[in-house]
């Protein structure tokens, strides 16, 4: 009569043994990039994205400015690519990305992976690793994209005559393919293009950029 009880106890122990691993796999994963580069503009960049949500956070500032993250969104297809690259890099576990050569200081960069109680990170100045370089390009592109968003937003509120110059900077980065999700700027571009309080040259440029984003060649 005790045999079924023993089997039941063994089953419970197996469940308890595998439960932490299953819970960790079910927990959302977070991917964070940080760059600290004193003397540059900006000196501090940090972006965090989650695998289960478009909601993300960014912090872009000088080191002597007050810290504080703001929210933005990253689409599912881009996030899938980012997390796939992190997976190719084994979630940064035991990874050495730096070239370890005497080159200029390009800022300390950090990739960090978190899922449940698991966390791994790697720091580097410059890398030749293809997957890491692609992931770095995406993160830096997102930071640049948010800088454009914030600059145009500020100009719309406080410096209408400076909007065209901000749009020229945006156009330059688009020409170089630096922005991973330029469609995030469409609400601002549409507002500028339709509002007569902005100068005509800025309105026309905003409409042209918006059309280019909606109909890429």
pLDDT band at 166 (very low <50, low <70, confident <90, very high): very high
Section 29-37 average pLDDT:
98
Tracing tokens 């720091």 back to the chain, one arrives at 123
Section 87-99 average pLDDT:
97
pLDDT band at 26 (very low <50, low <70, confident <90, very high): confident
Does the pLDDT value for residue 96 go beyond 90?
Answer: yes
Which pLDDT score is estimated for 217? Answer: 84
Per-residue pLDDT reduced to its tens digit, 2-15: 454 444 544 544 44
Does the pLDDT value for residue 211 go beyond 60?
Answer: yes
Give CA–CA dist 2/44, Å, rounded.
Answer: 64
**% of the chain with per-residue pLDDT over 90:** 88
Per-residue pLDDT reduced to its tens digit, 76-89: 999 999 999 999 99
Which pLDDT score is estimated for 25? Answer: 58
Section 107-135 average pLDDT:
98
Contact between 155 and 166 (Cβ < 8 Å): yes
Long-range CB contacts for residues 102-111, cutoff 8 Å, separation at least 24: 105/37, 106/37, 107/35, 107/36, 107/37, 107/40, 108/35, 108/36, 108/37, 109/33, 109/34, 109/35, 109/136, 110/32, 110/33, 110/34, 110/35, 111/31, 111/32, 111/33, 111/86, 111/135
Section 178-197 average pLDDT:
98
Which pLDDT score is estimated for 8? Answer: 54
Instruction: Encode 135-164: b = buried (16+ Cβ within 10 Å), e = exposed.
Output: bbebbbbbbbbbbbbebbeebbeeeeeebb
Instruction: Output the pTM of the full model.
Output: 0.87
Other residues' Cβ atoms within 10 Å of the Cβ of residue 196 = 7
Helical spans, DSSP H, in the chain = 2-26, 76-88, 130-158, 163-175, 186-194, 200-214
Q: Higher-confidence residue: 8 or 151?
A: 151
Closest to 84 (Cα-Cα) out of 138, 146, 143: 138
Section 143-159 average pLDDT:
98
Section 137-166 average pLDDT:
98
Tracing tokens 């929210």 back to the chain, one arrives at 71
Per-residue pLDDT reduced to its tens digit, 41-74: 999 999 999 999 999 999 999 999 999 999 999 9
**% of the chain with per-residue pLDDT over 70:** 88
Does the pLDDT value for residue 22 go beyond 70?
Answer: no
């Amino acid at each position: 009569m005790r045999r079924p009880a023993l089997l039941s106890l063994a089953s419970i122990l197996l469940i308890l043994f595998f439960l932490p691993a299953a819970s960790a796999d079910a927990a959302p994963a977070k991917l964070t990039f940080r760059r600290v580069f004193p003397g540059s503009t900006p000196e501090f960049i940090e972006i965090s994205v989650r695998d289960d949500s478009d909601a993300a956070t960014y912090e872009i500032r000088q080191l002597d400015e007050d810290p504080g993250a703001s929210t933005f969104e990253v689409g599912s297809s881009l996030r899938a690519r980012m997390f796939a690259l992190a997976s190719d890099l084994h979630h940064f576990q035991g990874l050495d990305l730096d070239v370890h050569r005497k080159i200029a200081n390009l800022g300390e960069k950090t990739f960090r992976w978190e899922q449940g109680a698991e966390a791994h990170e790697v720091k580097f100045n410059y890398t030749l690793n293809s997957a890491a370089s692609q992931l770095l390009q995406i993160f830096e592109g997102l930071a640049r994209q948010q800088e454009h968003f914030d600059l145009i937003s500020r100009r719309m509120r406080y410096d209408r005559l400076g909007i065209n110059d901000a749009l020229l900077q945006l156009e330059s980065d688009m020409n170089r393919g630096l922005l991973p999700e330029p469609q995030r700027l469409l609400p601002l571009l549409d507002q500028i293009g339709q509002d007569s309080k902005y100068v005509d040259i800025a309105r026309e440029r905003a409409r042209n950029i918006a059309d280019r984003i909606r109909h890429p060649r």
